[in-house]
């Protein structure tokens, strides 16, 4: 079995910073895209940031310049550094990975989600 384990969420005041991690474990052959979506109460899930296995990145307009996504392919881990956090960044953050357990079995896997709360 393969799993994605998230860590790093929590509470922070506006303007503060948090760093999320998403680690893949188990029988992983290869990982293509990794990234995060988030879902705020009463809203749909939206893409926050994504990164390809060769380091190309993409961000939501609302997070550009404040969030930075990176990854360590040797550790099957992605990171999301979040700075200048705003009240509207409050949400459950879900990491995902497009990965394979062998050359022909590719699928998308989701983490369990981690709560990020920005409040005074």
User: Mapping DSSP to helix (H, G, I), strand (E, B) and coil, where does residue 45 land?
Assistant: strand
Contacts of residue 13, defined as CB under 8 A and 6 or more positions apart, other chains included, come to 118, 119, 120
Give the whole-angstrom CA distance, residue 64 versus residue 9: 19
For residue 103, the model assigns a pLDDT of 87
For residue 48, the model assigns a pLDDT of 98
Residue 75 per-residue DSSP state = G
Burial of 105 (0-12, 13-18, 19+ CB in 10 A): exposed
What is the number of H-type helices and E-type strands within the chain? 0, 11
DSSP 88-116: GG-EEEEEEEEEESSTT-EEEEE---EEE
pLDDT in tens, the chain (120 residues): 899 999 999 999 999 999 999 999 999 999 999 999 999 999 999 999 999 999 999 999 999 999 999 999 999 999 999 999 999 999 999 999 999 999 888 999 999 999 999 999
């Amino acid at each position: 079995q393969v799993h994605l384990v998230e860590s790093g969420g929590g509470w922070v005041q506006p303007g503060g910073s948090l760093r999320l991690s998403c680690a893949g474990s188990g029988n992983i052959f290869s990982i293509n895209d990794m990234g995060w979506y988030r879902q705020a109460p009463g809203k749909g899930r939206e893409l926050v940031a994504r990164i390809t296995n060769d380091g190309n990145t993409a961000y939501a307009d609302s997070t550009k310049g404040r969030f930075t996504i990176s990854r360590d392919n040797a550790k099957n881990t992605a990171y999301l550094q979040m700075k200048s956090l705003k009240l509207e960044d409050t949400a459950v953050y879900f990491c995902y990975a497009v990965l394979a357990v062998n050359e022909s079995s590719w699928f998308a896997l989701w983490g369990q989600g981690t709560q990020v709360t920005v409040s005074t």
